[in-house]
């Protein structure tokens, strides 16, 4: 059966359209595949070095980047097994770049005594313009190298990598045009940082003052009271006056009276002449006086009978009369007056001056 002419024309047009669409789709897919398979243009920079048995390849991932965009700096070293590599110890702000090191790696060839060590650094430019990544030094120490152990390790110094850093700002905000702005510059308000250093210094000084004041108060509180030394004759005369006013004789306690009278005179001898009379018996003291000439012969001769008379009352329970008590007291008092050291600024009592005049 033969188709009408108009139906045949419609079928032919539809078939042709389908074929054309299929052809265009195939061409598009082929173009996309070719575009995907085409190698991307790369601007990485590679440097190679060789020193002894060490071969080093230094690679910078790009020659163009933007401010704060990461740039990878990779080092790959091929060396015999046993070599100790010292990678460049760079970190922080370095040569206009913020650099962050990554852990190093080492892989060994199973069939050969060869090791491949690698180290990566991530850099971010801090400013735009033509920049140069500074040179880096790789030091390596062969196994058993005595000179290297003493600080003479071999090294490879890389060349700088030139990198063009573009600003992230565009148009009127770009660094190239910002200085061409017209008009009066706007003055920004001055910002003052908090003065931490003076505040910390003031706090430290305050703590030091408080601590010093505390220890000073403790020292003043705990230190021993100053010892006021009075002349020996003043002490002895004051003790004799106290004994005379004690009414021991009126109370009938003659025994205690003579104990104190003897102790006062013995104490005076110790304070005035350094004679340890309080620790000696009367017999020991008399024997000591025979060989010691600190006192005059008259005073030495009078001390023995005086102390013996005191011992009679203290130990033999002898009861002296009133006249004997007064004589014993006068003897001790006169002995102190006669042997006292009055010094240059102190005058002798009136009775002592009268005796010297006579």
Give the containing element (helix H, strand E) for 80: strand 70-80
Supply the pLDDT for residue 83: 81
- Whether the per-residue pLDDT at 226 is higher than 90: the answer is no
**Cβ distance 129 to 97 under 8 Å?**
no
- Region 162-166 average pLDDT: 89
Supply the pLDDT for residue 356: 44
When the pLDDT of each residue in the chain is averaged and rounded to a whole number, the result is 80
Q: Is 45-167 a domain of CATH 3.40.50.2300?
A: no
- Region 243-268 average pLDDT: 91
- Whether the per-residue pLDDT at 34 is higher than 50: the answer is no
- Whether the per-residue pLDDT at 32 is higher than 90: the answer is no
Supply the pLDDT for residue 68: 84
Which of 20, 159, 155, 139 has the alpha carbon at shortest distance from 89?
139
Task: Sketch the domain layout of the chain as residue ranges.
Answer: 45-167, 232-341
Confidence tier at 242 by pLDDT (50, 70, 90): very high
- 104 Cβ contact partners less than 8 Å away, ≥ 6 residues apart: 85, 87, 117, 118, 119
Nearest-angstrom CA–CA distance, 201 and 88 = 39
Q: Which residue has the tokens 């104190």?
A: 260
- Whether the per-residue pLDDT at 247 is higher than 50: the answer is yes
Supply the pLDDT for residue 40: 47
- Region 255-266 average pLDDT: 93
Asked which of 39-48, 66-75, 144-153 is least confident by mean pLDDT, the reply is: 144-153
Give the containing element (helix H, strand E) for 154: strand 154-157
**Cβ distance 44 to 60 under 8 Å?**
yes
- Region 211-231 average pLDDT: 81
Highest mean pLDDT among 34-43, 146-155, 185-194, 201-210: 201-210
- Whether the per-residue pLDDT at 311 is higher than 80: the answer is yes
**Cβ distance 94 to 73 under 8 Å?**
no
Q: What is the DSSP letter of 47?
A: E
How far, rounded to the nearest angstrom, does the alpha carbon of residue 145 sit from its chain's CA centroid? 40
Instruction: Count other C-beta atoms under 10 Å from residue 286's C-beta.
Output: 16
Nearest-angstrom CA–CA distance, 36 and 32 = 6
Determine whether 297 is exposed, middle or buried from the number of CB atoms within 10 Å of its CB (0-12, 13-18, 19+).
exposed
| Residue with the larger pLDDT of the pair 34 and 291 | 291
Which of 170, 198, 335, 211 has the alpha carbon at shortest distance from 261?
335
Asked which of 147-151, 239-243, 264-268 is least confident by mean pLDDT, the reply is: 147-151
Supply the pLDDT for residue 173: 57
Pairing of strands 129-133, 114-125: unpaired
How far the first Cα of the chain sits from its last, in Å, is: 188
Nearest-angstrom CA–CA distance, 255 and 246 = 13
- Region 311-328 average pLDDT: 90
Nearest-angstrom CA–CA distance, 246 and 8 = 163
């Amino acid at each position: 059966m033969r188709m009408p002419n108009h139906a045949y024309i419609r079928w032919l047009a539809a078939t042709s359209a389908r074929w054309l669409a299929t052809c265009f789709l195939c061409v598009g897919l082929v173009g996309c595949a070719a575009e995907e398979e085409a190698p991307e243009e790369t601007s990485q920079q590679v440097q190679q070095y060789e020193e002894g048995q060490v071969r080093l390849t230094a690679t910078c991932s790009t020659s163009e980047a933007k401010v704060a965009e990461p740039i990878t700096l990779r080092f790959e070293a091929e060396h015999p097994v046993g070599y100790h590599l010292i990678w460049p110890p760079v970190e922080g702000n370095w040569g206009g770049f913020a650099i962050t090191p990554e852990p190093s790696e080492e892989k060994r060839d199973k069939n050969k005594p060869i090791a491949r060590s690698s180290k990566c650094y991530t850099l971010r430019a801090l400013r735009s313009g033509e920049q140069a990544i500074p040179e880096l030094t790789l030091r390596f120490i062969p196994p058993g190298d005595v000179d290297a152990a003493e600080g003479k390790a071999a090294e490879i110094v890389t060349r700088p990598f030139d990198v063009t850093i573009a600003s992230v700002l565009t148009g009127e905000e770009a660094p190239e045009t910002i200085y061409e702005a017209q008009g009066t510059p706007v003055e920004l308000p001055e910002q003052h940082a908090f003065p931490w250093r003076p505040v910390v210094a003031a706090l430290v000084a305050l703590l030091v003052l408080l601590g010093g004041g505390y220890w000073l108060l403790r020292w003043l509180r705990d230190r021993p009271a100053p010892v006021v030394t009075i002349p020996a004759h003043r002490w002895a005369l004051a003790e004799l006056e106290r004994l005379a006013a004690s009414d021991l004789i009126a109370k009938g306690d003659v025994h205690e009276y003579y104990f104190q009278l003897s102790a006062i005179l013995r104490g005076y001898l110790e304070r005035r002449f350094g004679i340890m009379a309080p620790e000696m018996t009367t017999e020991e003291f008399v024997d000591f006086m025979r060989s010691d000439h600190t006192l005059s012969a008259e005073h030495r001769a009078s001390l023995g009978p005086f102390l013996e008379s005191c011992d009679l009352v203290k130990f033999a329970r002898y009861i002296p009369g009133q006249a004997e008590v007064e004589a014993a007291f006068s003897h001790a008092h006169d002995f102190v007056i006669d042997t006292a050291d009055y010094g240059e600024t102190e005058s002798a009592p009136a009775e002592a001056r009268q005796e010297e005049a006579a």
